[in-house]
Amino acid sequence: MTISQEARPEAPQPKSLVKSFFTNRVFVSALIAMSLFSLIRILTGTAEMSSFQSWGAMLRLAVPILLAGLGGLYAERAGVVNIGLEGMMILGTWFAGYGAFAWGPWRGILFGMVGGLIGGALHALATVTFKIDHIVSGVAINIIGAGMGRFLSTVFYVGRTDAGVTQSPRMTGSVERFTVPILADVFKAMEDTDWFLIGDIGGILHGWTRNISWFTLLAFLLVPASIYLLWRTKFGLRLRSTGENPWAAESLGVRVYTYKWVAVLISGALAGMGGAYLVTEQAGLYREGMTGGRGFIGLAALIFGNWRPAGVATGAAIFGYGLTLQLRGESAAVRALLLFAGIGLLLYALWQFRSRGVNSLLSWIGGVLLIVAYFMVEEIPAEFIAMAPYVLTLIVISQAAGRLRMPAADGIPYRRGEAH
């Protein structure tokens, strides 16, 4: 062996992919949360917490929130605050209702996207072109969406026997559904075992693989598609640069106005798609007020998800699960979730004790209060069950607040040539 060979440092060994996966913080956190969830389900005897019916319903209820959140993601990554998601969803519901009863559900979905696109165009015109305050414009879009839905219904539906000023005729046909072969039966067998962790994972995956619509699959495929588009393409890099530092992007030749317009139009189309989902998958027709604040919950999912597609999907799933318990009236499951949330907050407080003293203290207090509430309350009142999705939203966002980072130039007016 030569001297040069002796002096050559040993090449580093590649890290095991399996070891990297099982030491990943996200995976470990998810495993701990799932184990605690399963333990609470067994101790409280509330099988509804992980039944395939509950998780299948969660999937359907999460989609409109997910689409609204993804819509907000595109706009805010380009530096345009979009609190007008609710109004864009309302426009999507009306246009989808009209298209679905006239030509079927798939054309109804396209019509819904066009309705949301109209709202997005109004918001882009106000904020990007005329430099109107983003919050003011968003509030105006919400008001316009509700008013336009009533006006269009008056024009098109008054005098019909199958519709009226507050709803459209029922749509023709339905979106096709499918069950994943083999896997659905395997997950059902896992759920039937009722074992710790295995039964819960089986129930969740069983709900996600049986009687799923193609529209639901399309909506969730938009998550990896958005990750690729925004973080793996030149278009995504330029769009995100307009939300971080539009003046630097301008100096590099990026057409900032164009990218902001495109982002807000995509935002509107996705919010309108979320409205179309409510029509084609849940109600079968347009009904006034059917969005029920899902645009605002989508905005909350966006914030919880730290302005990232996977985070938005996680937030939508959490909020969708809360809506599921509300609509199914699962008092026992909601009560069990008090215990789950209380213990979860205590574990979180223990983990954050050294780095975040104030947050840790608040988590301790919240965790103790939730556990005390579980033992003091025998049955959850129906009014609290109705509040569950929104209380869950507040708890989750309050705990996630410390790690959030919005785009640096989000909501800041941009004018070409004004260097900052």
- Phi/psi for 355 (5° steps) reads -85, -30
With beta carbons less than 8 A apart as the criterion, state whether 288 and 167 touch.
yes
Assess whether 231 and 374 both reside in one domain. no
Instruction: Reply yes or no on whether the pLDDT at 420 is more than 70.
Output: no
Confidence class for position 4, pLDDT limits 50, 70, 90:
very low
Separation CA 16–CA 182 (nearest Å): 31
User: 417: buried, middle or exposed (CB in 10 Å: 19+, 13-18, 0-12)?
Assistant: exposed
Is the same domain home to 324 and 349? Answer: no
Beta bridge partners of 164: 167
Cβ(120)–Cβ(269) below 8 Å:
yes
Ordered DSSP codes for 120-182: HHHHHIIIIIS---HHHHHHHHHHHHHHHHHHHHHHHHTT-SS-BTTBPPPPSS---EE--TT
Model confidence band, residue 357 (pLDDT cutoffs 50, 70, 90): low
Higher pLDDT, 310 or 11: 310
My answer on whether 292 and 368 are in the same domain is: no
pLDDT tens figures, 208-221: 999 999 999 999 99
E strands, 31-80, are none
Looking at the domain assignment, is residue 394 inside a domain? yes
Tens of pLDDT, residues 71-103: 999 999 999 999 999 999 999 999 999 999 999
Residues 172 and 237 reside in one and the same domain: yes
Q: Does pLDDT of 64 surpass 50?
A: yes
Tell me the mean pLDDT in the region 169-195.
93
Least confident of 135-149, 349-363, 375-389: 349-363
pLDDT band at 9; cut points 50, 70, 90 = very low
Average the pLDDT over 257-263 and give the result: 97
Look at residue 253 and tell me if it is in a domain. yes
Q: How far is CA 62 from CA 3, 81, 321, 323, in A?
A: 64, 22, 8, 9
Specify if 99 maps to a domain.
yes
- Split into its structural domains, the chain has a count of 2
Q: Retrieve residue 165's tokens.
A: 């000023």
Please tell me whether residues 268 and 366 are part of one structural domain: no
Three-state SS at 287: strand
Residue 344 sits at φ, ψ, to 5 deg, of: -60, -40
Single residue among 300, 328, 356 that ends a domain in this structure: 328
Q: From 328, 354, 375, give the residue that closes a domain.
A: 328
Kindly state whether residue 10 falls inside one of the protein's structural domains: no
pLDDT-based confidence at residue 399 (cuts at 50, 70, 90): low
Same domain, 318 and 335: no
Query: Of 328, 349, 379, which marks where a domain is finished?
Result: 328
The answer to whether residues 273 and 350 belong to one domain is: no
Q: Which residues contact 114 (CB under 8 A, 6 or more apart)?
A: 95, 269, 272
Q: Are residues 131 and 240 in the same domain?
A: yes
Whether residue 14 is contained in a domain is answered as: no
- 222 lies in some domain: yes
Tell me which residue of 167, 156, 68 sits closest to 119, measured CA to CA: 68
> Do 354 and 372 lie in a common domain?
yes
Pair 273, 352 in one domain: no
Residue 374 and residue 345 share a domain: yes
Q: Show the domain range for 339.
A: 329-403
- Judge whether 16 lies within some domain: no
The answer as to whether 34 is a domain residue is no
* pLDDT at position 3: 43
Query: pLDDT at residue 10 above 70?
Result: no
Verify that 313 and 164 share a domain, yes or no.
Answer: yes
The enclosing domain of 281 has a CATH number of 1.10.3470
